Structure 1
Amino acid sequence: MLYYFDIAVTAQSVILGFACARVLHATPHIFSKLCYLKIYLLWYVLCLHILNTFWTTMIITKLPDFDFLDFVLLIIYSGVTFIMCNSVFPSNSDKITSWENHYFTINKIFWVCNIVCALNIIIQLEKSHHKVFGEDYYIVYFIVLFPWIIYSVVAYLYQKSNVQWIALILLTLTYTANALSTFLNQDANF
């Protein structure tokens, strides 16, 4: 099992490393000048998204039957994370003059990526991760996954600034709660 874990973590690390590079590349450009506040929220959310993705990979060590489909789902999730980071913070971040215009240009890609990530987690939960979470794994649906999908779909469909703000604030609260929950309930017994 450890062999599969090494391969999965290596493949995921390469993809998430590219995603992290996009976020880090844009960091000096968004923090050196006053930017559109939504971009700061996206930066924060994407940082937590990458960190939580790396950390939750440890679940693989607890799966009794990690297989090719589990690996593919992990790589798809990582790839979608890269697409999300690349759309928000492209390689030419230093040349973006209006972050507000940029946000409204790319936000549909961002929200679709969020929906795909949530659906990917649902497939992973139903396929094999429910074995790790136990009988109460369905709580994750009501606390995290269904709300995440709902406000991502609403933000995708309604491009008004107020709707985008509400969706981004909810997303930020969800990621913050997830990170705090992970931190407070972390399991060091891999």
Structure 2
Amino acid sequence: MTPTAVRVRRAALELFAERGFHGTGIRQLAERAGVSSASLYHYMGTKEELLVALMTDSLERLVADAQAAVATSSDPVSQLEALVRMHVTAHASRPLDTRVGDHEVEALSEPARAQVVTLRDRYEQLWQEVLAAGLEDGVLRSEHPAVARRALLEMCSGVARWFDPAGPLTLEGLADHYAALACRLLGVSPPTRRGGADICV
């Protein structure tokens, strides 16, 4: 990807997060990216194609990171902790991706919306599989696993709205704290397990 194409994508991400997809005009996008309106389409295709590219790139990265997180252990509790840490870290460090991904799906027409939703469902399925394995093994507890999964994802995604890297809590500390909260939510009891990076407190 050329530097100009990267600049166009960055400008689109910022504007879609600030103004929404429908609130962002081609002229505004061209001005933010530092290119002419006439040349903009050379780097982005249609505005919807640009939105789809941003959303699919973000979701594909999340799916790959989630698969890598789950692969670090065969223990469902450790896998849960790894997923939470990964999700919190991704959303706190890339808040614009989160804002666009969470709020602009409805702006897409079919089949673009189906493409994005399929990726989102694949990501959530990885979480569901970890929860199901933990429930089957008796190391996690929840009367309503689907509700627990949604609660966890909403809780972890929320850091994109407020985390400040200049604040008193480091990103690593934040991710650890959320992993501990997830453990409590799913009935993982103390005493603390310390045998590496995984810890529920």
Superposed pair shares fold, TM > 0.5: no
Shorter-chain TM band? 0.3 to 0.5
Larger fraction in helix = 1
Using CA pairs under 8 Å that are at least 6 residues apart, name the structure with larger relative contact order, 1 or 2. 1
What TM-score do the two structures reach when normalised by structure 2? 0.32
